[in-house]
Amino acid sequence: MLRDVILKQKSELEAKRKNTYIPRDAKIKGLDSDIVKVITGPRRAGKSSFAINSIKEKFGYANFDDEHLTEIQDYDELVATIDSVYDNPKTIFFDEIQNLPKWELFVNRLQRHEKNIILTGSNANLLSNELSTHLTGRYFETRIYPFSFKEITPNAENLPASEIKKKFDEFLMQGGYPEPYVKKLDVSEYLKTLFEATVYKDVIKRYRIRKTSELEAIADFLLANIASQTSFNQIAKSLGLKSAETVKKYCRILEETMVFFTVKRFSYKLKEQEAETKKTYCIDNGFFKAKAFSTSQNFGKLYENLVASELKKRETEQNARTYYWKNQQQEEVDFAVKKGDKITQLIQVCYSLENKKTQERETRALLKAGKELDCPNLLLLTANVEKTEEKEWFGTKGTIKYQPVWKWLLESESKTP
C-alpha cells in the first residue's frame, strides 16, 4: 500500500510540473548546500509549486498531507520505497512535514546519511520558532506567502495605469492565493473552504480542540475585526466566553497557521510592548470577502490589511519588524518599520483624503510620531493621491510623501528603508 501511495503522489507531482507556474520573487535559500532547507508559509500559499519549480536536480517526494503517510510506523520502509520509486535520489522533498510524528528525528537521521533534505510546513510553531530545537545544526528557512501584487503584475512598467489599477482593484478584494489565479476558480468559494480546512486541520484536529464552536467564533471574530486593536478580555466579552486565557491560547494557535498575525504597539521598553493591545491582520484580503463580511464600507480596513500583509512579507528579507505607534493623546500611525535599533519609516494608510479633518488627523499623527521617534521618512498611502508636501503642526515640521498603494506595492522591496 505504501508503494501505491508514493506512486500516486509521483503521478500528482508530474501533473503539477505541467501546471501554469507564476514565478515568485524568492529563491530557496541554501539550495546548493547539504544543509536542511525549510520552506514555510500558510496552507496553499504555493510552497510546493515553488519548491518543485526551484529544484533542478532529480529528487524523491512524499506529501504528508495524506492520512496514509501520517499513520506509517516504519520510516525506513518509507525511505526504501522512495528510493525504489525515484531511483535512489540524493535529494528528497517532504511536503507538509509537520503532520509526520517525530519528523525532526527522522529528518536529522536522513541528513546524517548524507541526504539533501527540502521540507515544507504550514505551522509556524513547528517549523519556524522552534526550528533550532528540532533540527541539529544549521538550516535555511524560506518564507512563501500568497502572491504579492508585484508577483501577479509582471512587466508592470509596460502596462497602462488603467490596467494596473483594474488588476489592483481585483487584488484588493480577491487576494493572492495561487490556485484561483492559475486555475480560474471561484475565489470566494475556494477561500471559504480553505479557511475552514485550515481551522480544522491545522488547529482543531492537531490540537484536539474540544470546544470547536468557541475556536471557530474567535477565528471569525479576528477576521471581522482586522486592523483593529483588541485584547483577549475584549474578545471574550464580545463573544460571551468565560475565560480570557482560553481566548489567548486559541489566538496563539490560530497565529501558528500563518493566516493571522499581530502587530504590537511600538515602545522602547519590551514589557510595555507585550502589555499593550495588539492589532490583528490577515495574510490575505481574499479571506475577508470569502467569509461574507461587508466590504463596501470597509475599504479603509482592506487597504490597511493589504499594507500590513505586504510589510509582513518583506520583514524576513529586510530583517525588519513592523509595529504601530500611538501616543497618550490616542493619536496613531498605522505602521512603524524598525531595522536594528532605529525606526526607519512611518507609514499611514488612508483610503480617502477628501475629508479635510481626516487629512489633518492623519498627517498630524505622522508629524508627531516622526518627531518623537526621530524618523523623517514619512509616507502616507492612499487610493490615488501622489505628491510630496511640507507640513507643519505647532512647530513640528516634516516632509510627507503621498503615494497610491498600488504604486507602493510594485516598488522593489529593496527600496523600502
- Residue 338 and residue 369 in contact, taking contact as beta carbons nearer than 8 Å: no
Burial class of residue 306, CB neighbours in 10 A (0-12, 13-18, 19+): buried
- Residue 326 and residue 192 in contact, taking contact as beta carbons nearer than 8 Å: no
CA–CA separation, 129 and 107 (whole Å):
17
Give the residue-averaged pLDDT of 100-107: 89
Give me the percent of the chain exceeding a pLDDT of 70. Answer: 94
CA–CA separation, 190 and 174 (whole Å):
11
Q: pLDDT tier at 382 (50, 70, 90 boundaries)?
A: very high
Question: From start to end of 67-162, where are the E strands?
Answer: 91-95, 116-121, 139-143
39 CB-near residues (< 8 Å, 6+ apart): 28, 47, 50, 51, 118, 119, 120, 121, 141, 142, 143, 144
- Residue 127 and residue 98 in contact, taking contact as beta carbons nearer than 8 Å: yes
CATH number at 2-143: 3.40.50
- Residue 347 and residue 337 in contact, taking contact as beta carbons nearer than 8 Å: yes
Give the residue-averaged pLDDT of 89-101: 93
What are phi and psi for residue 313, nearest 5 degrees? Answer: -65, -30
CA–CA separation, 61 and 73 (whole Å):
18
Tallying the residues shown for the chain, one arrives at 417
Give the residue-averaged pLDDT of 294-305: 80
Find where cell 470566494 sits: 188
CA–CA separation, 114 and 191 (whole Å):
40
Give the residue-averaged pLDDT of 312-322: 88
What are phi and psi for residue 164, nearest 5 degrees? Answer: -65, -40
- Residue 121 and residue 127 in contact, taking contact as beta carbons nearer than 8 Å: yes
Q: Please give the pLDDT value at position 269.
A: 80
Amino acid identity of residue 375, one-letter, is: C
| pLDDT tens by residue, 135-153 | 766 789 899 999 999 999 9
Residue 342 bridge partners (DSSP) = 339
Residue 229 bridge partners (DSSP) = 279
CA–CA separation, 129 and 90 (whole Å):
28
Residue 398 bridge partners (DSSP) = 391
Give me the percent of the chain exceeding a pLDDT of 90. Answer: 73
For the four alpha carbons of 171, 175, 177 and 179, in that order, the dihedral sign comes to negative
Any idea what DSSP says for residue 98?
G
Task: From residue 30, give the alpha-carbon distance in Å to each of 73, 125, 139.
Answer: 31, 22, 8
**Crossing angle (nearest 10°) for helices 2-18 and 75-86:** 50
- Residue 125 and residue 382 in contact, taking contact as beta carbons nearer than 8 Å: no
| 382 three-class SS | strand
Write down the domain spans for the chain: 2-143, 156-415
Give this prediction's pTM.
0.91
- Residue 374 and residue 346 in contact, taking contact as beta carbons nearer than 8 Å: no
| pLDDT tens by residue, 39-86 | 999 999 999 999 999 999 999 999 999 989 988 999 999 999 999 999
